[in-house]
Chains A and B, each alone.
Chain A
Amino acid sequence: MTTPRPETLAKLTPVLTKRWLSPDAWRIGTYEKLDGYAALRKALKSHPDDLIQLVKDSGLRGRGGAGFPTGLKWGFIPQGDGKPHYLVVNADEGEPGTCKDLPLMTHDPHSLVEGVIIASYAIRANRAYIYIRGEAVHAARRLRNAVREAQAKGYLGRNILGSGFDLELVVHSGAGAYICGEETALLDSLEGFRGQPRLRPPFPATHGLYASPTVVNNVGTIASVPYIVLGGAAWWKTMGTEKSAGPMIYSLSGRVANPGQFECSLGVTLRELLELAGGMQPGHNLRFWTPGGSSTPLLTAEHLDVPLDFESVAAAGSILGTTATQIFSDQDCPVYATYRWLEFYHHESCGKCTPCREGNYWMVRVYRRILSGQGTHEDLDTLLDTCDNILGRSFCGLGDGATSSVTSSLQYFKQDYLDYIEGRTAPKLSDKQLVGAH
């Protein structure tokens, strides 16, 4: 493996990941030695409004995919309204390709707990919930342990560090539904219902959990808060770009020599990330990739130099999403990859909105037909037409995400589809998987 060039190495900005190398950082004693809970002490001496302003100044944007300015979201919570406020952390990581929050919660759970306490103090919430994906059992173990340790040390509970601020934090395990990563579905699930999205407005900022003002933030967003409190907004803005400030954990998976998590300043390019990851696997050439999980339109080798920040990726016709770059080579078939993603969306559609429920069901069947060598040219029109009828026509973005890979793969790799339809590529699925496809 060749060493990356110094200018590429300089893109690495270990902030949120920096404690992962200390094997015991999940224990409160070790965490405290590594700046742990220093931010909390500092924050509790400030006025909550000053903390909201600090986060606004830092330019921190949501790490869960949408990139909404965090300080603005906190500022939307009406103060002095006499209602209880809630902070809910979205730890329902499940977007295909995304694998940054689980290691964070497993190896540095206290940084999330500390962020939760500071954020709750800022928005004046006395109850907070971490809604963690059910399957993430080891992360939940460490997180529950961290909450218990923090309670024992007086960082949680009544009158935290003598400040008069009370906070109860509950780690709530989900039960295996991707849709609960959507914030309003998550709230419904947390209230004990089927996880189905709500119509917005009203937004969670005014009518969230138990119809009260609620902030829902991703794990990475909340875990960033202690660092901003310590290092300041100006320091945070030294990383990233003007509109996409700070470091971001990029997750590389697939046909790369060394897949894994790389925390870089926002705006790093895939070419640089590949250099850090030791390049493509021998014998593989980059063919297509997702910039931020399967719900973001595919990009190709011509997009190697697109800065991976919110604005530049949008300008290239995709979405930064969760910065989960899944990398596929010339030995992978974009039609098959899209088919497998659609199976996912079909399985995970909650069934509330007809376009998403039915559209994904039928698109899966069209894909099976194409992949078994029985597709027609009309099928491609059917796919695009179905996407038109899903996109923007459902309560939440799950259906929109499903169409991303379909339309983008048809845009860049139409020939691959035609090769199946016109018999130049051998069928990838057998007839027995075709039941119900017609």
Chain B
Amino acid sequence: MTVFTEQTRERAREIVSRYPADRSRSALLPLLHLVQAEEGYVSPAGVEFCAEVLGLNKAQVGAVATFYTMYKRKPTGDYLVSVCTNTMCNVLGGQDVYDTLAEHLGVGHDETTADGKITLEHAECLAACDYGPVMTVNYDFFDNVDPRGAVGVVDELRAGGRPMPTRGARLCTLKEMAVQLAGFADEREGAVADGGPGESSLRGLRLAQQHGISAPGFDPNTPIRSKAEADRVAAEAKAKAEAAEKAKADAAAKSAPDAPVKGGDGASAPTGVEPAQPERATGSTTPDVKAPDDKSPQVRTAETRQPDAATAVPDAPGTKVPADSVPPAPRDAQEAEVAGVAANPPASDGKPAGDDAGAQERNLKEAEAGAGGNGADPAVASETGVQK
């Protein structure tokens, strides 16, 4: 059973400190990478270590460790060779590469050579389709590989060499890579600088450069509009559009000379009101009231909740005062209330509705009939229901 080194424990503490104090569980994925850095796979001891550091139980850690492909469950070689056999690489020859390597090394998927050097796996899309077929060694890319080239790479690795990846840094061992995956910097001199852009990544850019093309009109000093200003401009544009529409409608109606344009500043809502339809505008129960604009409800809600002086606040549907009628006096509302109260006489006995003496009795009878007859006579039951 492995006893994890003080360095690993120190690193574990550093990992946990990256996350909010009460959210230490977030450190679990990097910690699992960390135990792989020491052992080359997630062993039962590694699971226990993570559980101890985070105050979890082993089952909780095990459940996570077994979910992810990159946590290996048995010892691995120094170099993990992954060959992409997903559709694109596959049709471009990735399957041949994988089959050749498997035969050459005498191992299958997720198996390690007897000398402990190489673990082979086939991978599902390594996100480098423009370089297909690709293979990675400890996750650094070898692009456009063919079976012969791939065999050359693994032979060199087994002979103790470290071939240079096409893109990415010079190779390290899988355990060293696991330290980086746990979130620690690659301390090797020059490793971060290794690996220039591949030709495929630059393809479009080179073409643009050759022909002197750039995205036109880019001015880094374009000012950022304040929200208030943006809202004002939007309101103006809207008012303008509405006015234009109104003018068009008026022209169509051939009543242009005396069109009653109200709200002279152009920004207030009455300018755009549809030709007065008093019966619709005053009735609060009018069905299918059109939304005041075609914005999404979330946007409209957000905007109406935070209006400022310049915001044109459209009237809520059904609350518009007809443009050419007198607004109701406050007294009208009181009168309406009095009338409403008069039209609804209170219950004679002052009890809540439905609480008359016979109700309980009827309910009991109904229940009895239902239970005794096993629903034999639903007609009777429903009849009583109707009567009630």
A interface residue numbers (CB < 8 A to B) = 4, 6, 9-10, 12-15, 17-18, 20-21, 23, 26, 35, 38-39, 42-43, 46-47, 49-54, 57, 72, 75-76, 84, 93-99, 101-103, 106-107, 127, 133-138, 140-142, 144-145, 148, 170-178, 189-195, 210, 227, 229-232, 234-235, 238-239, 247, 250-254, 258-264, 276-277, 294, 324, 326, 328, 332, 336-337, 340-341, 343-344, 347-348, 350
B residues near A, CB below 8 A?
18-20, 23, 25-30, 32-33, 54, 63-64, 67-71, 82, 85-88, 90-92, 123-132, 136, 138-141, 167-169, 177, 180-183, 185-186, 191-192, 194-209, 211, 213-227, 230, 296, 298-299, 302
Choose from B68, B124, B216 the contact partner of A343 (Cβ within 8 Å): B124
The 8 Å CB contact of A260, one of B70, B86, B130, B221, is: B130
A328-B91, A340-B85 given. 9 additional CB < 8 A pairs?
A: A14-B205, A21-B202, A21-B205, A102-B127, A107-B197, A135-B136, A254-B88, A337-B87, A340-B90
Q: Contact between B224 and A337 (Cβ–Cβ < 8 Å)?
A: no
How distant is the Cα of A430 from the Cα of B183 in the complex, in angstroms? 44
Q: Which of A107, A145, A190, A328 contacts B201 (CB 8 A)?
A: A107
CB distance from A92 to the nearest CB of B (A): 10
- Which single member of A35, A52, A54, A253 contacts B132 (CB below 8 Å)? A253
Interchain CB contact under 8 A, B302 and A75 = yes
Nearest-CB residue, chain B, relative to A227: B218
When the two chains form their complex, are residues B192 and A23 in contact, meaning their CB atoms are under 8 A apart?
no
Residues of A within 8 A of B201 (CB): 20, 103, 107, 260-261
Query: Are B204 and A261 in contact (CB-based, < 8 A)?
Result: yes
Give the complex CA separation of A16 and B205 in angstroms. Answer: 10
Contact between A50 and B224, CB atoms less than 8 A apart: yes
Cα separation A337 to B30 with both chains bound (whole Å): 35
Given A96-B87, A262-B203, A340-B90, CB of A18 within 8 Å of CB of B214: yes
Q: Which of B25, B222, B299 contacts A235 (CB 8 A)?
A: B222
The list of the 10 closest CB pairs from A to B, nearest first, reads A260-B203, A262-B204, A232-B222, A176-B69, A175-B68, A253-B129, A192-B25, A260-B200, A192-B28, A176-B70
Output the nearest chain B residue to A256 by Cβ-Cβ distance.
B130
Question: Roughly how many angstroms separate A43 CA and B85 CA in the complex, as a whole number?
Answer: 45
A175-B33 contact in complex given A97-B129, A192-B64, A251-B130, C-beta closer than 8 Å: yes
Q: Are A173 and B30 in contact (CB under 8 A)?
A: yes
Nearest chain B CB to A89 CB, angstrom units: 15
* Distance from B179 Cβ to chain A, minimum over Cβ atoms (Å): 11
Partner of A96, one of B86, B141, B169, B202: B86
Q: Find the A residue at minimum CB distance from B85.
A: A340
Contact assessment for A260 and B217 in the assembled complex, using a CB-CB cutoff below 8 Å: no
The interface residues of chain A lying within 8 Å CB-to-CB of B298 are 72, 75-76
Pick from A93, A173, A337: contact of B91, CB below 8 A. A337
CB-nearest residue of chain A to B200? A260
Q: Which residue of A lies closest to B177 (CB)?
A: A137
Measured between alpha carbons, how far is A96 from B88 in the docked complex, in Å?
A: 8
Please give me the residue from chain B that is nearest to A53 by CB atom: B227
A227 CA / B218 CA spacing, docked (Å): 9
Which B residues touch A72, using CB under 8 A? 296, 298-299
Which listed residue, B183, B220, B227, touches A231 by the CB 8 Å rule?
B220
Whole-angstrom CA separation of A239 from B218 in the bound complex: 11
Q: Tell me which of B30, B69, B214 contacts A172 (CB under 8 A).
A: B30
Q: Which residues of B contact A294 (CB under 8 A)?
A: 87
Cα-based distance from A141 to B168 in the complex (angstroms): 9
Complex Cα–Cα for A340 and B185 (A):
36
Listed A/B pairs (25) with beta-carbon separation below 8 Å: A10-B213, A20-B202, A23-B197, A46-B224, A93-B127, A97-B129, A103-B197, A107-B201, A137-B139, A145-B192, A175-B69, A175-B70, A176-B68, A177-B69, A229-B224, A231-B218, A250-B204, A254-B132, A260-B199, A260-B201, A261-B202, A261-B205, A276-B207, A326-B88, A340-B85
Which of B139, B196, B227, B302 interacts with A23 by CB under 8 Å?
B196
